[in-house]
Amino acid sequence: MAEFDRLYRIALENAAIAKNYRKRYLFTELEHVTKARKKGITLISGIRGVGKTTLMLQLFNRIENAFYFSADSVLVRSKRIYDMVENLYRQGYTTIFIDEIHKYPRWIEELKNIYDSFNVRIVASGSSTAAIKKGNISLGRRSIGISLTPLEFGEFIYLKTGKRYSASFAEMLDKKKAMQWMAEHPEVEKYYGEYLIHGGFPIEAKEQIFPLVKKMIYEDALAEFSLTRNKVDVAERLLGFLSLSRPGEFSYTSFSNMSNYAKSTIYETVNMLKELEILCAVEGKKPKEAAKGTIKLLFSHPNIRVAFAEQLMNDAAKGALREEYFVFHMNALGIPLQIPKKGRKNPDYLANIKGKELICEVGGKAKSRAQLMGKKGVVLSDENLVVLGFVQKTNQKQAKMVGSLNKVKYLKIECTIKPYGRV
């Protein structure tokens, strides 16, 4: 009992700190997901540094009869999580928060047995995205998965200043409307450059991002993939190469010839980095193009490119940061992107917005409508991109999903907490 008291005291102290931080827009929905089920497992995944622990502590503050502990605590390592949960259940706790669950051996088997034995709600998270997602698949109907992504631009400003802004897709797509929106909200533009450098991660210093990504490769990947030293070398060289390259179609063959690594090894490494959510890929529209390996390989968030480029004593190209900002926010809105059919000018992206295709050219003043090849499309300047950061996904679909929890297998919610955002 003394050890449980110590764990509870530690949880209360950390939760008292987290209580002062501003909450994400979707905190209420996340709280509802937890409270709506009398029994079940919620698994929170997300790359390192996006605020999973803070989110759990804030939920711990709001839910009665709750207990929080980290599976990598020295007070927990020698115990079975099943036995701990049973003890807590007998004491009257109905919601158990378990952080860093992936570091506990046989955690999936333990959670299965807990679900089958006790009427408790388990909310668990881990810094290995791949491990948590695999666990969610293995647990089947017992669990709901929630994915936490880096901060979008609008939420970055809210958590920093306490001010909320919203914009429509029409205002983002039209240059004049975007300029009008910017004229009505002139204070937001000054945060755009800061966001591109480190605003997606809820940490104080941008220098912390690179060590986080290194841990994802050396700890998470080693634990979840058959990772050899050769693949670690390939991953590091590939990320370094991409951080200093301008966005364009990535050629496995060209990189293989340049690096002297086997093409199969490069394929495996790219897939691993995508699963770790360090990289993302935009593919061609036709199956033949995907089969040929025609992809645009990008960092999942511009902050990661900045971190790697700075390690190589270089500045990340502004054009690359714009494109990754665009792809990240379009993905957050659930809008599919593809590589357009090759032409003389090769525009950047083909977006599918409500069933209608739209060519999107992302760039600065040098870009023009000539890149659109005469097709319906838009040239997105920095003004358009700033406004894109405030376009929000409607909550209608999410509300429907929350209302039908028994049918939901995986709920993607972009939710992170910014430590310096105080109430």
List pLDDT tens digits, range 267-278. 999 999 999 999
Q: What is the pLDDT of residues 372-409, one digit of tens each?
A: 656 778 999 999 999 999 998 764 343 333 334 444 44
pLDDT at 325: 98
The amino acid at 76: V
Half-sphere exposure of 12 (CA within 13 A, CB side): 8
Q: What is the pLDDT of residues 174-222, one digit of tens each?
A: 999 999 999 999 999 999 999 999 999 987 667 889 999 999 988 888 7
CA 194 vs CA 121, 183, 200, 315, 388: distances in Å: 39, 20, 10, 14, 16
pLDDT at 398: 37
Neighbours of 302 (CB within 10 A): 27
pLDDT at 205: 66
Q: What is the pLDDT of residues 41-92, one digit of tens each?
A: 999 999 999 989 999 999 999 999 999 999 999 889 889 999 999 999 999 9
Q: Point out which residues pair with 97 in neighbouring strands.
A: 68, 123
Q: Are strands 377-380 and 279-283 parallel, antiparallel or unpaired?
A: unpaired
Of 100, 51, 46, 95, nearest to 73 by C-alpha is 100
- Residue 317 contacts residue 246 (beta carbons within 8 Å): yes
pLDDT at 377: 87
Residue 29 has pLDDT above 80, yes or no: no
The amino acid at 336: P
Joined tokens for residue 249: 């179609």
pLDDT at 366: 62
Nearest-angstrom CA–CA distance, 393 and 413? 11
Residue 399, Cα to own-chain centre: how many angstroms? Answer: 21
Coil, helix or strand at residue 335 = coil
pLDDT at 365: 65
Residue 308, Cα to own-chain centre: how many angstroms? Answer: 18
Residue 220, Cα to own-chain centre: how many angstroms? Answer: 16
Backbone dihedral region of 260: left (phi > 0), alpha (psi from -120 to 50 degrees) or beta? left
Q: What is the pLDDT of residues 408-423, one digit of tens each?
A: 444 443 333 333 343 3
Backbone dihedral region of 393: left (phi > 0), alpha (psi from -120 to 50 degrees) or beta? beta
State the average pLDDT for the chain. 86
Give the mean model confidence (pLDDT) for residues 121-125. 96
Nearest-angstrom CA–CA distance, 211 and 349? 31
- Residue 272 contacts residue 235 (beta carbons within 8 Å): yes
pLDDT at 299: 97
Nearest-angstrom CA–CA distance, 47 and 126? 9
Of 417, 377, 245, nearest to 319 by C-alpha is 245
Coil, helix or strand at residue 21 = strand
CB neighbour list of residue 110: distance below 8 Å, 6 or more residues apart: 80, 81, 82, 104
Angle at which helices 129-139 and 263-275 cross, to 10°? 80
pLDDT at 421: 44
User: Which CATH number is 2-153+393-412 given?
Assistant: 3.40.50.300
May I ask the CATH architecture of the domain 167-388?
A: Orthogonal Bundle (1.10)
- Give the start-to-end residue ranges of the domains of the chain: 2-153+393-412, 167-388
Q: What is the pLDDT of residues 326-361, one digit of tens each?
A: 999 999 999 999 998 764 456 789 999 888 899 999
Give the mean model confidence (pLDDT) for residues 251-262. 93
